[in-house]
């Protein structure tokens, strides 16, 4: 019979994983498109984290990466022995590690809810840029009809603070700024026109020199 690990052994191995995770160059795996990977990329870039931005095609995903990912989905993240799947979990992890998480359980919960909201809203872009050609105009129309109202709810969440949801930059602000930039790139920036507070946050984040460089280098206007 195999010997069970003692609590002490377990404790050491968890500590070792933590040490390895803190010293290894992280790798973020996602398709060569913005999608659910982009807020994580931009958070890492904003925090000047030296990471490997592993990008692939659909074919490469199926052949090489799907089985390598912890939950069979993309994005996924590696840092030493740590393998993490799920875009919100990865985003939250890299943000907390780099000082962009919440300061207490309430802020943590608020951040996660805003992050989830922003992933949902941004997913409405897929039909417009990647859907069947003959359906794209309808998707665009639906986007313009529904997204401004949804963003209005988030706008109302920004009370007297400068950022989401407090006075210091968080990963939800980076994600907001990434969406704001992307919507603008595909000619949908008008959805923010009645959201002055969200626009101000996005503008502040977008001034980061490393984000400007990353966006210029990696985000191209999708061809129609």
Residue 74 binds to ligand GSH (criterion: CB under 6 A): yes
Sheet holding 82-85, edge to edge: 52-56, 27-31, 76-79, 82-85
Residue 35 binds to ligand GSH (criterion: CB under 6 A): yes
Q: CB of residue 31 vs ligand GSH: minimum separation in angstroms? A: 7
Residue 189 binds to ligand GSH (criterion: CB under 6 A): no
Find where tokens 């984290």 sit. Answer: 49
Q: Which is nearer to ligand GSH, 175 or 208 (CB)?
A: 175
Query: DSSP code of 72?
Result: S
Q: Which is nearer to ligand GSH, 19 or 130 (CB)?
A: 130
Residue 36 binds to ligand GSH (criterion: CB under 6 A): yes
Residue 131 binds to ligand GSH (criterion: CB under 6 A): no
Q: CB of residue 178 vs ligand GSH: minimum separation in angstroms? A: 15
Retrieve residue 73's tokens.
């989905």
Q: Which range, of 66-74, 106-114, 152-160, 203-211, touches ligand GSH by CB under 6 A?
A: 66-74
- Residue showing the smallest CB distance to ligand GSH in the complex: 87
Q: CB of residue 160 vs ligand GSH: minimum separation in angstroms? A: 31
Q: Are 36 and 75 in contact (CB under 8 A)?
A: yes
Interaction with ligand GSH in 82-121: which residues (CB under 6 A)?
86-88
Residue 73 binds to ligand GSH (criterion: CB under 6 A): yes
How far is it, in rounded angstroms, from Cα 219 to Cα 217? 6
Residue 124 binds to ligand GSH (criterion: CB under 6 A): no
Q: CB of residue 161 vs ligand GSH: minimum separation in angstroms? A: 26
Q: Number of residues in contact with ligand GSH, rule: CB under 6 A?
A: 9
Q: Choose among 88, 67, 87, 75: nearest CA to 27.
A: 75
* Backbone region of residue 72 per phi and psi (left: phi > 0; alpha: psi in -120 to 50; beta: other values): left
User: Exactly one of 66, 135, 141, 149 binds ligand GSH (CB under 6 A); which one?
Assistant: 66
SS3 content of the chain, % helix, strand, coil (to 5): 60, 10, 30
Query: DSSP code of 33?
Result: S
Mind spelling out the 3-state secondary structure of 77-127? EEECCEEEECHHHHHHHHHHHCCCCCCCHHHHHHHHHHHHHHHHHHHCCHH
Residue 175 binds to ligand GSH (criterion: CB under 6 A): no
- Contact positions vs ligand GSH (CB under 6 A): 35-36, 66, 73-75, 86-88
């Amino acid at each position: 019979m195999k010997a069970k690990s003692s609590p002490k052994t377990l404790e050491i191995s968890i500590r070792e994983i933590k040490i390895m995770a803190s010293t290894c160059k992280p790798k973020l795996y996602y398709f060569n498109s913005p999608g659910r990977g982009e807020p994580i990329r931009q958070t890492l870039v904003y925090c000047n984290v030296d990471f490997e931005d592993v990008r692939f095609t659909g074919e490469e995903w199926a052949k090489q990466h799907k089985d390598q990912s912890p939950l069979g989905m993309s994005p996924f993240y590696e840092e030493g022995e740590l393998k993490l799947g799920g875009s919100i979990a990865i985003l939250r992890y890299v943000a907390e590690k780099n000082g962009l998480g919440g300061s207490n359980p309430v802020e943590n919960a608020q951040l996660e809810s805003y992050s989830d909201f922003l992933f949902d809203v941004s997913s409405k872009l897929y039909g417009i840029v990647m859907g069947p050609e003959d359906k794209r105009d309808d998707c665009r129309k639906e986007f313009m009809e529904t997204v401004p109202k949804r963003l209005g709810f988030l706008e109302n969440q920004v009370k007297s603070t400068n950022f989401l949801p407090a006075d210091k930059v968080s990963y939800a602000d980076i994600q907001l700024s990434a969406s704001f930039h992307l919507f603008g790139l595909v000619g949908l920036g008008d959805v923010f026109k009645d959201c002055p507070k969200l626009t101000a946050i996005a503008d502040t984040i977008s001034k980061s020199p490393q984000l400007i460089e990353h966006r210029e280098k990696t985000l191209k206007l999708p061809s129609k």
